[in-house]
Chain A
Amino acid sequence: MTDEEFYGPALCTLKAAEQFLLEVIAEYPAVYGEQGADFPVKSCQSRIKSAESMRKKLKARGFMTNLHSALNDVYDAVGIRIICGFVDDVYKIAAWIEKRKELEILQRKDYIAWPKPNGYRSYHLCLRLCAGGAAGTLAEIQIRTMAIDFWATLEHQLKYKQKIPCEELIRKELKRCADEIAATDISMQTIRDMLENGFCEGLEKDTES
């Protein structure tokens, strides 16, 4: 079944919602420092969930595999993924989106503070548009660091593989990589904080307190 056949006229609304969200995120302000302008949003991807993938998800969750369920029972017919450099950026961007009046936040899932058992770390926002031509549409925004995004591309492939060779070993090693990447993300954030706050100042302040 094609996306057009499954979603029908609603496909236009979903595309409008996708466009609307991309425009909102494009407004995220640059940060001006010694090096000039820095854009915390390093890249932004979007998609309308394919008919095939949507039907599979609805079925797995025990919902009817029809349009009404696709638009109301799950949040990610429209999906946006924001990639940024540092862990703190994830939270800053999330906080900024949560304050937007044209969006109503329905659910927050912080898998960075509470990682999934496989090691997955991202911040998810489920929301409803409350302005524009696509008002009322549900969407999901995922925010994560570049390092974790790199990891997630491989983890994602596992979901679509019918048969995984040495599955237990692969999952264990992938989990180890997630823990290593997350540790590096935190170290990078710590170093950035040291650069911004003055490294030696931090030490002096610490030893004097």
Chain B
Amino acid sequence: MKLLLAEDEKALSEVLVTVLEKHNYSVEAVYDGNSALKYLETQIYDAAILDVMMPGTDGITVLKTLRKNGNMLPIMILTAKSDIDDRVIGLDSGANDYLPKPFDTRELLARIRVMMRVQGTQTDEILKTGNIKLNHATLEMSSDVSSFRLSGKEFQMMKVFMENPGIPISLNMLLDKIWGSAGKEEKETVWAYISFLRKKLKALHADVGISTVDIGTYQLEVFTL
């Protein structure tokens, strides 16, 4: 599980990184809102923890920007403000959870676990990139002219690509996200599924495709005419 932590108080950030890493999360720490936005828009995370009061862009603005761009990453807001109005603004801006400072790290860890569980059960959305739609409920990938029903792994892979259009994704990241790090699958497995999806996208007359960015790195690209 990869987390982004945006917290401008260096001492607190260091403590949180230590605790989270001890619980097997891999954490990237940034110390201002602009960096948070830049990291979240160009890399793949499983969740983010954002402080509200930060130099540059504040946490709520980062959150709103991500949601406006269709990024549905689980996000927790951390702040010293424990006023009810602030909590409501945070949640209404698209936060999955809100934790007022000071907090016990055990509660933070439990809340991260809840956020990940809830995300796994949100199954009614339809993702859209270019002329391609991906339906969670039916595992259907479709365009205006045709549709296919995907296998479970194909669906999960396409979901990762569609949730992160234009972001380079490595074979290892896909292995980790879809097969889990404990799996025995090799990069060949990932490549086979990329091949399945590429051919199906072509058969759908898709205006998006999975292109090779670099050695073993792929991204969902929207073709412009």
A203 within 8 A of B: yes
A12 within 8 A of B: no
Which residue of chain B is the closest to A183 with respect to CB atoms? Answer: B148
Fill in one digit per residue for B194-209: 1 if any A CB lies within 8 Å of its CB, else 0: 0110011001010000
Main DSSP-derived SS at the A contact region? helix
Which residue of chain B is the closest to A189 with respect to CB atoms? Answer: B199
**A208/B215 in contact, CB under 8 A:** yes
Residues on B with C-beta less than 8 A from A183 are 148-151, 200
**B147/A179 in contact, CB under 8 A:** yes
Which residue of chain A is the closest to B198 with respect to CB atoms? Answer: A190
Main DSSP-derived SS at the B contact region? mixed
Among A113, A193, A203, chain B packs the most CB atoms within 10 A around the CB of A203
With A183-B150, A202-B195 as known contacts, state yes or no: A114 contacts B212, CB within 8 Å: no
Fill in one digit per residue for A89-114: 1 if any B CB lies within 8 Å of its CB, else 0: 00000000000000000000000011
With A200-B188, A202-B191 as known contacts, state yes or no: A180 contacts B205, CB within 8 Å: no
Interface size class of A (residues with CB under 8 A): 20 to 34
**A176/B149 in contact, CB under 8 A:** yes
Q: Select which of B140, B148, B203, B215 is within 8 A of A113 by beta carbon.
A: B203
Within 8 A of B (CB), among A12-43: none
| Chain B residues with a Cβ under 8 A of chain A | 138, 140, 145-151, 187-188, 191-192, 195-196, 199-200, 203, 205, 212, 215-216
15 sampled A-B residue pairs with Cβ under 8 A:
A113-B145, A115-B147, A176-B138, A179-B140, A179-B148, A180-B148, A182-B146, A183-B150, A186-B196, A186-B200, A187-B151, A187-B196, A190-B199, A202-B191, A203-B187
